[in-house]
Amino acid sequence: MTGEFQRYLRAKRTVDDRALDRRLVETLRTELAARAASADGPLRVLELGAGIGTMVTRCLDWEMVPEGHVQYTAVDLSEESIATLPGHVREWADDRGHTVTDDRTNGRLTVETGRTRVEVDAVVAEGVEYAREANAEADLVMGVALLDLIERTELPTILGAVADGGLYYFPITVDGGTRFNPAHPADRGVERLYHAHMDRKAGGSSRAGGEVLALLQSQPGVSVAAAGSDWIVKPVDGAYPADEAVLLRHILRTVESAVTEVTDGEFDSLAEWLTTRRQQVDDAELVYHTHQLDLFGQVVDSATAQNDGHD
Ligand SMILES: C[S@@+](CC[C@H](N)C(=O)[O-])C[C@H]1O[C@@H](n2cnc3c(N)ncnc32)[C@H](O)[C@@H]1O
């Protein structure tokens, strides 16, 4: 595993696993299987902001993708994450006895689980531009924990990569709540400044989940289903599960740099707040909770969905 951010993405796998709404996962599984049954060729999945590929492995672990042949394109802006993806997938496959082959001519990774053969193309690219250039041929377009980082007005472009009758899935979309417990007097100030930092980044929003839901509901040519997928990270029997302390330490570093940047280092309570929170992680006492939404639906008519409905 390479950098600190990639270790964070790996550590968040178990937290996402708990949070993802199972009703939507089940609907996605059923709809994809129906689509695969009526398709001529392989099922085509496009994931934007794919990070180190934890959704690739989850799709196989949870049998979200159907039996047979799947072509999976994993796109991310980060060269380091895309460089980490093959090793991450390989390690996961080795643990389960699945076969992985590498095609050195095109960098394609093929995973055989016995049930499903997935060909993974990992691509360094900006997601919206990639979707804009792609033909509307994906059976499924996904973005996990992504839409708070991308201009919401680009949603029609992303949906434009979905084939007629295909699906979209945008789970773990931040929706305006960050809570730390036990309570600390600086909590409200920290949360307000942390969210202000998300909001001022280009395309960023601390309330992306609700904004995307509203956009999808007004979008012609798409259906939409939504459910909560809050993260709750807490100690169990005196310790954090798996690598979740790594996630908490990363979140505290992110809060530190966000609040420092947004206040020019002038938020006096920050240092003491961070010291307290870091000690609570070391002592397995901190509970962290964020509110998020999972969004899922069908693109009934791709050409219509590329239109924002306001022309
Ligand atoms: C919070 S991480 C989530 C990663 C992965 N989906 C997961 O859940 O493990 C957001 C990811 O989106 C990528 N990203 C951010 N903006 C992007 C963009 N405009 N195009 C493509 N990827 C982007 C980041 O590099 C990062 O890997």
Question: Where do the domains of the chain lie?
Answer: 4-176+203-231+290-305
Reference 279, options 212, 184, 140; nearest CA is 184
* Whole-number pLDDT of residue 118: 98
Reported as a pLDDT band with limits 50, 70 and 90, residue 308 is: low
Q: In angstroms, rounded to a whole number, what is the distance separating the alpha carbons of residues 240 and 249?
A: 12
Q: In angstroms, rounded to a whole number, what is the distance separating the alpha carbons of residues 32 and 138?
A: 11
Q: By percentage, how much of the chain surpasses pLDDT 90?
A: 88
Q: By percentage, how much of the chain surpasses pLDDT 70?
A: 98
* Whole-number pLDDT of residue 154: 94
CA of 183 to the centre of ligand 1 (A): 31
CA of 35 to the centre of ligand 1 (A): 27
Inform me whether the pLDDT recorded for 300 exceeds 60: yes
| Mean pLDDT of the chain, nearest integer | 95
Query: Lowest mean pLDDT: which of 5-14, 61-70, 297-306?
Result: 297-306
Reference 19, options 240, 295, 255, 291; nearest CA is 291
pLDDT in tens, 185-194: 999 999 999 9
Ligand 1 atom closest to residue 54's alpha carbon, by position in its atom list: 9
* Whole-number pLDDT of residue 306: 76
Contact between 11 and 247 (Cβ < 8 Å): yes
Inform me whether the pLDDT recorded for 310 exceeds 60: no
Kindly state the tokens that stand for 57.
């492995």
CA of 258 to the centre of ligand 1 (A): 18
CA of 144 to the centre of ligand 1 (A): 8
Ligand 1 atom closest to residue 12's alpha carbon, by position in its atom list: 9
Inform me whether the pLDDT recorded for 103 exceeds 70: yes
Contact between 170 and 55 (Cβ < 8 Å): no
Q: In angstroms, rounded to a whole number, what is the distance separating the alpha carbons of residues 67 and 32?
A: 10
Average pLDDT over residues 118-122: 97
Give the chain's length: 311
Placement of tokens 């049954």 in the chain: 37
Does 144 contact ligand 1 (Cβ within 6 A)?
A: yes
Going by alpha carbons, the residue nearest to atom 8 of ligand 1 is 144
One-letter-per-residue 3-state SS of the chain? CCCHHHHHHHHCHHHHHHHCCHHHHHHHHHHHHHHHHHCCCCEEEEEECCCCCHHHHHHHHCCCCCCEEEEEEEEECCHHHHHHHHHHHHHHHHHHCCEEEEECCCCEEEEECCCEEEEEEEEECCHHHHHHHCCCCEEEEECCCCCCCCCHHHHHHHHCCEEEEEEEEEEEEEEEEEEEECCCCCHHHHHHHHHHHHHHCCCCCCCHHHHHHHHHHCCCCECCEEEECCEEECCECCECCCCHHHHHHHHHHHHHHHHHHHHCCCCCCHHHHHHHHHHHHHCCCCEEEEEEEEEEEEECCHHHHCCCCCC
Going by alpha carbons, the residue nearest to atom 4 of ligand 1 is 51
pLDDT in tens, 134-150: 989 999 999 999 999 99
Does 48 contact ligand 1 (Cβ within 6 A)?
A: yes
Does 292 contact ligand 1 (Cβ within 6 A)?
A: no
* Whole-number pLDDT of residue 311: 47
* Whole-number pLDDT of residue 108: 94
Does 81 contact ligand 1 (Cβ within 6 A)?
A: yes
Does CATH number 3.30.930.10 belong to domain 4-176+203-231+290-305? Answer: no
Does 51 contact ligand 1 (Cβ within 6 A)?
A: yes
Ligand 1 atom closest to residue 51's alpha carbon, by position in its atom list: 27
Reported as a pLDDT band with limits 50, 70 and 90, residue 2 is: confident
pLDDT in tens, 52-71: 999 999 999 999 999 999 99
